[in-house]
Each structure stands twice: as C-alpha cells, then as structure tokens.
Amino acid sequence: MRLRTAAWFGLLLAALLLVGAGFADRQLKTATHPGFLPEGMPLYAYTPDLPLSWLRLSNTALSKNLSDEARPVLHDMELSVRRLTGIRPTPARWRVWLGGSAAAATDGRNWILCAHPGLAARAASWVFAGGAFPGAQLHQAWRGGYLLLSSSSALIEKALAAPPVTLDLPESLPPDALVMELRTPLRARLTLTPGGQLPIEARIMRGAGFAPRSSGPWKAPVLSGNPAAILSLPDAQSAEQLATLLKDISLPDFSDGLFGGLVTRWSLNRLPQFLSATGPLDAPMAFAFYDLSTDSGAPLPRLAAACAAREGFSKFLLAPQNANKLLPYEWNGCAGWMFPLFGDQFSLYGFQRDDTYYLATREPLAAALASASQTSRPDIEDDAVITLDWKRTAPTIMEGANWAAAHELLPETNQKDLDAAFIPVMRALSKCGTLRVAGRWTAEGLLLNGVLADGSQQPEHKQ
C-alpha cells in the first residue's frame, strides 16, 4: 500500500517536473528582441518562429521544385549543418535545440546566427563547458540568454560587443514571416509569408524626397512576344523616382576604353533625365526584357520599350542631319525607322502603332510587336507594376552565369560549382510561374506588394 502510494507520488512528481521543465523551456525560448548581431553587415534576416516558417515553406511549390531539381544541393546543406552541429536539421529538432526566434546576418563570405534556445542547448552548454554544439569549425558564444553561432570568430566578437540589433520590422509581423533587410548597396526590406504563392511585401527606402502619385488610373502599353520581365510605369515622375532609388547600385566601372567611350558618346548618363522629362514624354511607359544571348561572345540582351503617345508631338522634329541617319522601315503597315548600332544583333527599330510608340533592339521583335493582336488593357491604380516570368528568366540567368563561369569571372566559382548548386536552384525556380508585384510611392521610397511565384505560366503579358 505504501509502495503504491509512493509510486503514484513519484509519477505525480515526474509529471510536475516535466510540466515544469516544459514551462521553463518555453519561457527560456521567449525572446524579447531579435538578438545580437554585428553592426554594418550588408544583409540581415529574422523570423519570430523559424521552425514554423520552415514547415510552411516546405509545403509550397517552390520547395517541391527544389526537392525535385536540387535534391543533392539540399542534401549537401543538410550534411553541412549536421557536421557543424551534430544534429540532422528538421523543424522539430530546431525548435528543441534552438527555439523559435532566429536572426542572422551575412557579408557574403561568413554568416552569424542568433537564437534564443531553451533547456536543451543550455544543458549541453553546461555539460560541454560553453559550447552547445560540438565541432571546432562552429564558433559559439552566449550573451544574455542568446546563443551566437558563426563561421567566423571575428563576427562572434563583434556581436558580443554590439547593442541589440535593430531591424525595420513591419507592425504585426506574423510568427511564420521571414524578414530580410538589405543595407548595402541600397536599403530595402523584404517580408515573405511562407505558403501558397509566397506573398511578399518589399520596401525600398531612401529617406526622403519622394512623392506619392496624385493622378488617376492609367493603362500600361502592351509588350507582347513573351518577355521574361516587364516593368510598367505610369509617368515621368515614377521613372525619375525609380532612377533615384536605384542609383546607389554601383555597376561595373567601365569608365575607360571602348565601353567608357560608349557611355559618354551615347549619352547614357543623361538617360534618366530624358526618361523623367515632364514634357510630352510624361506618359505611361513599359520596358521589357526578353532574353540574353552570349552567342556573340558577350551577353547581349533583347529589349523593347513602349510609350503612350501624347499630343504636341509634331513640333518635335529631327534636325536634318539626324534624320539622315535613319533607315526607313515598315511593319504591318506601321511606318518606322532603324538606327544602326551593332548590326542586326542590337540596333534600334522604332515605329508607331495606333496610340503607342514602340522601340525594339531586334528587327524580328519589332515585327512581332507590330503584328501582335491588340488586347484590352485594364486600369491600373498602382505606381509601378513588375512581372517576371520565371520560366523565361531562370534560363537567361543560367546562360549569363554559365558564360561568366566559363570565362572565370565569378569569384572562387567555376562551372563545376555552378552546376552543383546554382543551376539546380535556377531550374527549380523556372517551374515557379510568375512573380507579380505592384508598387506605390511613399514619402520614403517604394512599397511593393505581390507574390513571388504564382505557379502559373505566362503566355502573354497581361496587366
């Protein structure tokens, strides 16, 4: 009798201990802020509940495509984590060892992760004298209940000395949301909600100097021919503000030599001012990128642009000497012209069709634009619309990357490295449908909302 009572008492005590431990574990895992990360890193990422994000992401089409196309890549990543931590990574195991909250940063070469673990990691750390995980390649440190893991001891030291990281988090952030904050070359924040079509909200910020658009709905010119990406803007103000926003992105310096001469002689440095002219060019416009070819020995894009016509055009006449440089062309009854640049691989072909002016860099593309059937165009309330067809964009990116790798232009990366990781990921992305985002100007910059991968195929551009 006494034995039975003692057994029941023992069970009750164990249950109480278990509940207590669970409660303590849960309390320990509760983070009051994202954590400690070094200051001045180019890219930060944060999620309030990484295992939940992970689980929901694994149910998306993107994840399925990655599993199909990039299984060896995922396997290698899993193996790397296992070698570093001794644990096979799954959402459940992550929650047990590292909790929910996770903040990370990278400078492109090294990474650092900050988590708020519970009992398991703390117990392991106590047992193994400071290190929650085995392995000399993983640098670890504790600070105020947060566990820092990094590939670099220098980053650990910086994080130990830094104040709590301040991230521009959206209000009412869902627990499974993933937030990425880019600080250089421009300041931007991307919030991804795992699930479905992967809805995203992005904010590109530049401080001040922007003005929300005040005019009404507009119709974007249609650029047919299956472009890989289209950017549509309602007016010159939007074009100018977009150019201002992106001008911090530094392009390769071709200031010398033939390319340096090209920028000057073609006055490309004055292009933003032309596009933002508030005169007759202040009209809805669209820019399309179709593909990239490296057959000539260098990457050469196929581009097109369209702009709605405006009145008062006739007073702008070419000077006689400039008119002499044009070659007359005609497509489908639309009078046009050709301006030679680089033979038939990249020249300017222009024409007007109804109330729209078109420009293309290849003659067959101009012919296709002139002959395309006219579709109805809905009204657009937003200030910018971006559409990106992954099926056509991913192969273009692959072609460019392969060309760069073959010419040894990528740092510490050769063709074999590309084939092992980057190409499979691109193949997975090519099956993800279309990216669609719409933007609105705010006083600080551009706010974009849309979906990352709608899973659909895009035969014709539609607004």
Partner 1 sequence: MSISGQASAPAAGLPQRWTGNLAPHRLTILLLALLVPTHAAFAHPWIDVFGPSRPLYTLGFGGIVAGVDSTGRVGTLLWPHSGAFNQIAPADPANATPSGCQWGIAGGGKADWLSGAAWKTEKAGPPSPESAILEFVSSCAALKATATQTLLVSPKNGLMAARIQIDASEPLGAISWFQQFAPVPFDRLPLALPVALPQASCGFASFFDSQRARLYQFRPAHPGRQDWDHARSLQESHATPAEWSSFQDGAWCATAFSTREITCQFGDGEKRPHAESAALGQVGVTVTVLPASGRSPNRAEVFIAFGRNRTEADKALDTALKQGFDALQSETQAEYAALLSPASPRLSDNADKQDRALRDLRVLFAALDSKSGTVVAAPAAQPPLCATWPELSAWTALAWHLSGFTDQAARQLQFFYAPLLAKDSRTGTTPALPELLRTDTASALPSFVHNPASTAWIVLAVVQLARLSPPDSVPANALSNYNELVLPAMQYLRRWSTPSTGGPPPGFDPLPVRDVSSVSNELLYYLGVQGSFDMATITKQPPHPDWQSWQRELEALLRFRMVNEPDGWDLSPTLSAWAAMTLSPADPLRKAAVRTPSGLVALGDCPIPTLPPATTTILATPDTFDSALDLVALFHPTPHKP
Residues within window 213-252 making contact with partner 1, judged by CB under 8 A: 252
Distance CA 131, CA 128 (A): 6
User: Least CB distance from residue 405 to partner 1, whole Å?
Assistant: 9
* Interface pick for partner 1 out of 72, 261, 381, 456 (rule CB under 8 A): 261
Scan residues 349-368 and list those touching partner 1 (CB under 8 A).
Answer: 350, 352, 357, 359, 363
How far apart are alpha carbons 414 and 423 in whole angstroms?
12
By CB under 8 A, tell whether 77 contacts partner 1.
no
CB 379 within 8 A of CB 331: no
Is the torsion defined by CA of 352, 357, 359, 362 positive or negative?
negative
Which residue stretch of 218-226, 234-242, 272-280, 392-400 sits at the interface with partner 1 (rule: CB under 8 A)? 272-280
Stretch that binds partner 1, among 76-84, 195-203, 221-229, 331-339 (CB under 8 A): 331-339
Does 83 engage in binding with partner 1 (CB under 8 A)? no
Question: Nearer Cβ to partner 1, position 14 or 271?
Answer: 271
CB 83 to partner 1: min, Å? 14
* Site for partner 1 contains 335 (CB under 8 A): yes
Only one residue has tokens 């010419």, namely 407
What's the closest the beta carbon of residue 316 comes to partner 1, in angstroms?
5
Which listed residue (172, 250, 324, 373) binds partner 1 by CB under 8 A?
A: 324
Output 17 or 268, the one with its CB closest to partner 1.
268
Residues 402-461 that bind partner 1 (CB under 8 A): 406-417
Instruction: Say how far apart CA 158 and CA 141 lie, in whole Å.
Output: 11
d(CA 224, CA 461): 6
Burial of 91 (0-12, 13-18, 19+ CB in 10 A): middle
8 scored as a contact of partner 1 (CB under 8 A): no
Nearest of 300, 289, 290, 283 to residue 352 by alpha carbon? 283
Output the six-digit token pair for 123.
């117990």
Among 341, 355, 375, 381, binds partner 1 (CB under 8 A): 341
With respect to partner 1, which residue has the nearer C-beta, 106 or 347?
347
Burial class (CB in 10 A: 0-12, 13-18, 19+), 169: middle
User: 14, 19, 154, 271: which one contacts partner 1 (CB under 8 A)?
Assistant: 271
Token pair listed for 12: 């009750």
230: Cα within 13 Å, side-chain hemisphere: 25
| Lookup: tokens for 53 | 């994000």
**Least distance to partner 1 from the beta carbon of 346, Å?**
6
In which element (H, E) is residue 405 found? helix 390-406
With vertex at residue 162, the alpha carbon angle to CA 27 and CA 250, rounded to the nearest 5 degrees, is 120
Residue 75 engages partner 1 in binding (rule: CB under 8 A): no
Q: Which stretch binds partner 1 (CB under 8 A): 135-143, 202-210, 333-341, 376-384?
A: 333-341
- Cβ(451)–Cβ(435) below 8 Å: yes
Check: CB of residue 191 under 8 Å from CB of residue 174: no
Size of the site for partner 1 (CB under 8 A): 71
Is the Cβ of residue 68 or residue 330 nearer to partner 1 in the bound state? 330
Q: Does 129 bind partner 1 (CB under 8 A)?
A: no
Decide if residue 311 touches partner 1 (CB under 8 A): no
Is the distance from CB of 109 to CB of 150 less than 8 angstroms? Answer: no
Binding residue for partner 1 (CB under 8 A) from 59, 67, 278, 322?
322
Q: Which residues pair with 293 in a beta bridge?
A: 300
Backbone angles phi, psi at 9, to 5 degrees: -65, -40
Q: Which stretch binds partner 1 (CB under 8 A): 38-46, 55-63, 187-195, 336-344?
A: 336-344
Report the residue number, 172 or 321, with the smaller CB distance to partner 1: 321
Cβ proximity to partner 1: between 21 and 335 the closer is 335
